[in-house]
């Protein structure tokens, strides 16, 4: 090994970091399951022909390809392309609509920045084959439940908009062709990052004026009055009602007429979740994308879904000092007083483990007890168990509480009862 | 997408397949945790300089490397190389001995065969920094607990041997240099696959004679009587005693003097687990490898550990028709009788989900109830809930048991109580 470095833009997680990541992922999984979504696990490796030519050049530049002799392959960039491939091969067999979730790492050859790695975990849920607004409303309901379960209640806002409204509004402003519209959408998208002036500078006075009014809080129904605008605003109102009926309170959700979402593939409602004081853009986002699955080579079906970024969620939890409570068993180190007591310690460890406890047996019996206790403290064990002459003679063990430093001699059965 | 094919040697898992995989992995994790092992999650991508020159040419030919501009990187081949890299960078901070486990996919550019994929999940546990036989004995204890928990009790055998015994025995037979010995070990390793005659053919009459006696069951202590042989046989006896003390019954473990394990890096006790009638070589294997971590560029510390192959375990479970019991919540489809009943169904679904149930809301209210029920059956739901004119008037719901086809009208609160 020439160096002990990680591949650029990747990192290791150990101990409690992993347990916290697993906890977050398992909470997300459990909400997805509770809405009837089925798991789908696709491989990390995909054919290059599946991966390319989908999202345009920008995404293609971020793909990792394999070297010869495996140069037909590359690493998945997201969970949507694999979903399209899977749906293409299995559509006839799948229940329709097909509601699936995918959890796992995706890979992007970006230059790493704070909080942006080249390998990161995305948790996606999507419904293929339904145009129902219920499917769109579920995006908000699922997001709401996940964030509440993770301890973020009261701290997040799910922003909603609709590409149909944006399209109607841009038509009213006077933008007609797709290129112009995309430019305007990108401008709105960038306001939070670079400010209104910079974002809108090359898009004309009228656009700047209306943008300013939207930001200042003027009712959009006063600004946009065309038939299409009115209809799409009504659609948003109905969607918000549905979301309410799904148990999401008003304070957790907001219509943001300036929300555009960079990706041009959305065709209907769009969502983005922002956590207050988190110093991070968004922790989840998605919407309706009725053309994308067929563009990606899948069946020609409508689709709607969203995605959580696990690293972003963990960043926010740390930032807000929210420590989700995940259950810990009591952790016990069984020490070994010396070689002649080894058998007693081995059997004690086995007994306690059978009672469902987490029990490490200290391995090197030639180490003195003080070294063994130091190790127990370093690994943050709750108890150390000691069996020496006296304990052996009494048929008992000594249990030392490592938090309080109190210790007591008692029968092993009583100790295991104490901890349950 | 030119084709909807997977990258050669990879496959998708969906629905219950994923749930079963997750269940197996979580049982393994839970046993590792119960012995005090800490999780370590390393990235899929590693530097080429970390990956190469370790296990010899054979392994290097199976590595996946990235193409330019990322050609410094490749995909991990196992969890041991990343462990060595991690230990090299963090050794001073880690508790010693360092007991860690790693669960996740590894990648090998092999030609796929039945049951051998290019991406598969390995679950490793290893102890770095201890020469204690307790650490070796734990390999058997952990293996025993994992397999019992997965429902394989009574169906597996953990085979044990020791490289020190093999070395002493080969010395007695007359093999002196490492090359000769490796050839002899590989021969013993291959007996089960290709038969004794074929495996031992170029290794001389004496070797063939002794091999035949070992296979016929002659006591190895009668065959090998040098001081080294006797000492190493005593070491194996002591290890088997320790393993017994750790709660592993005699019938689950057997000294197999012909077990060699192909990899030349083992230096002490070795283990391999075989499941009867499974038509598969082994589902876990490992042992002591005191030189490997430093050979891999990590700290110069003794090490011992083992690994489970998830796909192999699943293959065996299926073969033996063992279906691990993982808890299912009752799964409910809330149907929608028509657009005017949508709100009632939405609220009912939300209510039941809040009670902790798995509740899918049918999305397309224009579909008739019979189509909705068909969907519920296809997705193997337990109940369908129907709310129409009559139910709405009565303030009740109709719950249809999809297994028995019985249905009853009752209050939603009573229905949710019924299912808890």
Q: What is the ipTM of this complex?
A: 0.93
Pairwise CA distance, residues B17 & B305, whole Å: 28
User: Which of A287, A290, A323 is closest to A305 using CA atoms?
Assistant: A287
Question: Could you tell me the strand order of the sheet in which A358-361 lies?
Answer: A358-361, A331-334, A383-386, A397-401, A407-410
The answer to whether residue B324 is domain-embedded is: no
Give the tens place of pLDDT for each residue, A53-81.
666 666 788 999 999 999 999 999 999 99
**Strand order of the sheet with strand A13-14?**
A13-14, B38-41, B98-107, B119-128, B303-309, B284-288, B269-275, B156-162, B253-255
Number of domains in chain B: 2
* DSSP-H helix ranges across B150-226: 163-173, 178-194, 196-200, 205-216, 220-223
A363 part of contact set with chain B, CB < 8 Å: yes
Question: Of A319, A349, A380, which residue constitutes the final position of a domain?
Answer: A319
Instruction: Give the pLDDT band of residue B3 (cuts 50, 70, 90).
Output: low
Domain harbouring B36, CATH code: 3.30.930.10
Which residues does A301 contact at the CB level (< 8 Å), separation at least 6? A87, A91, A128, A129, A293, A294
A119-132: pLDDT as tens digits:
999 999 999 999 99
Same domain as B337, residue B308: no
B297 to A4: CB separation less than 8 angstroms, yes or no? yes
Percent of chain A with pLDDT over 90: 77
Over residues A109-138, mean pLDDT: 92
pLDDT at residue B326, as a whole number: 73
Question: Which of the four pLDDT bands, split at 50, 70 and 90, describes residue A418?
Answer: confident
Q: Are residues A212 and A128 in the same domain?
A: yes
Band the pLDDT of B206: cuts 50, 70, 90.
Answer: confident
Q: Are A281 and A381 members of one domain?
A: no
Q: What is the pLDDT of residue B171?
A: 93
d(CA B37, CA B40): 9
Task: Band the pLDDT of B325: cuts 50, 70, 90.
Answer: confident
At B106 the three-state DSSP class reads strand
**DSSP character for B3?**
-
Q: In Å, how far are A98, A207, A350, B123 from A345, measured between CA atoms?
A: 54, 77, 9, 27
Domain boundary pick from A319, A339, A366: A319
Q: Is residue A38 part of a domain?
A: yes
Residues A225 and A252 occupy one common structural domain:
yes
* Listed residue (A75, A53, A116) closest to B65, CA to CA: A75
Please say whether the beta carbons of A284 and A308 come within 8 A. Answer: yes
Given an 8 Å threshold on Cβ–Cβ distance, is A7 in contact with B45?
yes
HSE-CB of B215 using CA atoms within 13 angstroms: 14
Helix axes of B16-34 and B310-319: crossing angle, nearest 10 degrees: 120
CB pairs under 8 A between A and B: 282
Task: For residue A305, give the nearest of A289, A291, A293, A294 by alpha carbon.
Answer: A289
Nearest to A334 by CA among A277, A381, A289, A269: A381
Identify which has the larger pLDDT, A130 or B52: A130
Identify the pLDDT of residue A278: 83
Whether A148 has a pLDDT exceeding 90, the answer reads yes
B222 in a structural domain: no
- Helical pair B342-354 and B412-419, crossing angle rounded to 10 deg: 40
Domain that holds residue A233: 16-42+79-319
CA distance A109 to B405: 53
Q: Helices (DSSP H) in B265-397: which residue ranges?
A: 292-295, 310-319, 342-354, 369-378, 389-394
CB B307 within 8 A of CB B28: no
Interchain contact, B363 vs A135, CB within 8 Å: yes
CA dihedral B42, B44, B48, B49 (to 10 degrees): 0
The torsion defined by the Cα of B334, B338, B341 and B343, in degrees rounded to 10, comes to 70
> Would you call A210 an interface residue with chain B, using a CB distance cutoff of 8 Å?
no
Residues B412 and B298 occupy one common structural domain: no
Nearest-CA distance B415 → chain A (Å): 17
Q: Is A209 left (phi over 0), alpha (psi -120 to 50) or beta?
A: alpha
Indicate whether B305 belongs to any domain. Answer: yes
Q: What is the mean pLDDT of residues B351-374?
A: 94
Which A residues, 66 through 95, put their C-beta within 8 Å of a C-beta on chain B?
66-73, 75, 82, 84-86, 88-90, 95
Contacting residues of B for A131, CB less than 8 Å apart: 364
Is B218 marked within a binding site? no
- When pLDDT is averaged across residues A134-162 and rounded to a whole number, the result is 97
Tokens 């995706």 sit on residue: A106
B222-243 average pLDDT score:
96
Backbone angles phi, psi at A209, to 5 degrees: -65, -50
Q: Is the domain of A274 the same as that of A357?
A: no
Contact flag A130-B364 (C-beta cutoff 8 Å): yes
Segment holding B288, helix H or strand E: strand B284-288
Lowest mean pLDDT segment, chosen from A30-34, A274-278, B50-54: B50-54
Calpha distance A260→B384 (Å, rounded): 38
Closest partner residue to A95 among B134, B354, B378, by Cβ?
A: B378
Domain shared by A116 and A198, yes or no: yes
Contact A101, A207 (CB under 8 A): no
Say what the pLDDT of residue B114 is. 66
Cis previous bond, B69, omega within 30 = yes
In chain B, what percentage of residues exceed pLDDT 70? 97
Tokens standing for residue B1: 């997408």
CA A167 – CA B190 distance, rounded (Å): 69
Q: Testing the interface with A: which of B8, B9, B12 to mutate, by most A Cβ within 10 A?
A: B12
Domain end point (choices B319, B346, B380): B319
- pLDDT single digits (tens) B233-283: 999 999 999 999 999 999 999 999 999 987 778 999 999 999 988 888 899
The token pair at A113 is: 């920045």
Residues B306 and B338 reside in one and the same domain: no
Q: Is the minimum CB–CB distance between A27 and chain B shorter than 8 Å?
A: no
Burial label, A406 (beta-carbon count in 10 A; 0-12, 13-18, 19+): exposed
Q: Is the pLDDT of residue B317 over 60?
A: yes
The confidence score (pLDDT) of residue A2 equals 46
Give which of B361, B364, B367, B368 is closest to B345, Cα–Cα: B361
Same domain, A244 and A367: no
Looking at the DSSP bridge assignments, the partners of residue A412 are: none
DSSP A341: G
Confidence band (pLDDT; 50, 70, 90) for A136? very high
List chain A residues with CB under 8 Å of B347. Answer: 245
Q: Would residue B237 count as lying in a domain?
A: no
Would you call B284 helix, strand, or coil by DSSP?
strand
| Share above pLDDT 90 across residues of chain B, in percent, rounded to a whole number | 77
User: How high is the pLDDT of residue A362?
Assistant: 97
What B210-219 contacts at long range (C-beta under 8 Å, 24+ apart), as own/partner pairs, is B210/B173, B211/B187, B211/B258, B214/B257, B214/B258, B215/B191, B215/B258
> d(Cα A136, Cα A139) in Å, to the nearest integer?
5
How far is A30 from A24, CA to CA, in rounded Å?
10
Do B21 and B145 sit in the same domain of this protein?
Answer: yes
Determine the 3-state secondary structure of A351 from DSSP. helix
Instruction: Indicate the pLDDT class of residue A277, thresholds 50, 70 and 90.
Output: confident
Residue partners of B248: CB distance under 8 A and separation at least 6: B140, B141, B144, B158
- pLDDT tens column, B278-314: 888 899 999 999 999 998 889 999 999 999 999 999 9
Q: What average pLDDT does the segment B158-179 reach?
A: 93
By three-state DSSP, how is residue A52 classified? coil
Q: What is the CATH number of the domain that holds B343?
A: 3.40.50.800
Q: Which residues contact A165 (CB under 8 A, 6 or more apart)?
A: A220, A224, A229, A232, A233, A235, A236, A257
Q: How confident is the model at residue B201 (pLDDT cuts 50, 70, 90)?
A: confident
Residue B224 in domain: no
Counting DSSP H helices and E strands in chain B, the numbers are 17, 16
* Residue showing tokens 């509601």: A99
- Residue A142's pLDDT band, with cuts at 50, 70 and 90, is very high
Residues A42, A75 contacting (CB under 8 angstroms) = no
A149 and A226 together in one domain: yes
Burial class (CB in 10 A: 0-12, 13-18, 19+), B396: middle
Is A72 among the domain residues? no
- pLDDT tens-digit readout, A170-205: 999 999 888 888 889 988 988 888 888 888 888 888
Q: Which 369-398 residues of chain A touch chain B by CB within 8 A?
A: 375, 378-379
Confidence of residue B217 (pLDDT cuts 50, 70, 90): confident
Q: Do B44 and A41 touch (CB under 8 A)?
A: no
Residue B209 lies in a domain: no
Based on the domain organization, do B390 and B292 belong to the same domain? no
Alpha helices for A304-402 (secondary structure H): 310-319, 342-354, 369-378, 389-394
- A79 is annotated as contributing to ligand binding: yes
- DSSP-assigned states of every residue in B81-104: HHHHHHHHHHTTTS-SSEEEEEEE
Say how far apart CA B281 and CA B312 lie, in whole Å: 9
Rounded to an integer, the average pLDDT of B75-88 is: 95
Point out the residue among A4, A36, A71 whose CB comes nearest to the CB of B359: A36
Residue B52: what pLDDT? Answer: 86
Q: Which residues contact B10 (CB under 8 A, 6 or more apart)?
A: A43, A44, A45, B117, B118, B119
For the segment A304-317, the average pLDDT, to the nearest whole number, is 95
- Position B115 scores a pLDDT of 66
Pair B165, B233: CB distance under 8 Å: yes
């Amino acid at each position: 090994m020439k160096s002990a470095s990680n591949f650029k833009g990747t990192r290791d997680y150990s101990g409690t970091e992993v347990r916290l990541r697993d906890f977050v992922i398992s909470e997300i999984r459990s909400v997805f399951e509770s809405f009837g979504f089925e798991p789908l696990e696709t491989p990390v490796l995909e054919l290059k022909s599946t991966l390319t030519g989908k999202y345009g050049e920008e995404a293609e530049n971020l793909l990792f390809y394999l070297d010869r002799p495996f140069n037909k392959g590359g690493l998945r960039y997201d969970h949507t392309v694999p979903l399209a491939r899977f749906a293409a091969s299995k559509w006839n067999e799948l229940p329709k609509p097909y509601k699936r979730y995918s959890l796992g790492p995706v890979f992007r050859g970006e230059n790493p920045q704070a909080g942006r790695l080249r390998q990161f975990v995305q948790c996606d849920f999507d419904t293929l084959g339904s145009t129902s607004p219920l499917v769109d409303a579920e995006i908000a309901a699922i997001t709401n439940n996940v964030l509440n379960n993770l301890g973020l209640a009261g701290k997040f806002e799910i922003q909603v908009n609709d590409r149909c409204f944006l399209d109607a509004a841009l038509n009213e402003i006077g933008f007609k062709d797709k290129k112009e519209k995309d430019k305007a959408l990108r401008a709105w998208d960038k306001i939070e990052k670079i400010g209104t002036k910079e974002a809108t500078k090359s898009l004309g006075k009228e656009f700047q004026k209306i943008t300013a009014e939207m930001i200042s809080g003027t009712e959009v129904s006063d600004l946009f009055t065309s038939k299409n605008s009115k209809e799409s605003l009504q659609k948003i109102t109905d969607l918000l009602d549905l979301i309410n009926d799904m148990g999401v309170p008003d304070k957790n959700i907001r219509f943001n007429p300036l929300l555009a979402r960079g990706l041009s593939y959305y065709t209907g409602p769009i969502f983005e979740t922002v956590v207050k004081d988190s110093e991070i853009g968004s922790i989840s986002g998605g919407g309706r994308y009725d053309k994308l699955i067929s563009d990606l080579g899948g069946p020609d079906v409508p689709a709607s879904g969203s995605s959580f970024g696990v690293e972003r969620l963990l960043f926010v939890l740390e930032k807000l000092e929210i420590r989700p409570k995940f259950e810990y068993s009591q952790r016990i180190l069984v020490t070994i007083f010396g070689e002649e007591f080894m058998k007693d310690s081995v059997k004690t460890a086995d007994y306690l483990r059978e009672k469902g406890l987490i029990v490490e047996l200290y391995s090197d019996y030639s180490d003195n007890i003080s070294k063994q206790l130091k190790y127990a403290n370093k690994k943050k064990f709750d108890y150390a168990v000691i069996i020496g002459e006296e304990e052996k003679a009494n048929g008992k063990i000594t249990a030392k509480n490592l938090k309080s430093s109190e210790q007591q001699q008692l029968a092993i059965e009583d100790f295991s009862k104490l901890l349950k």
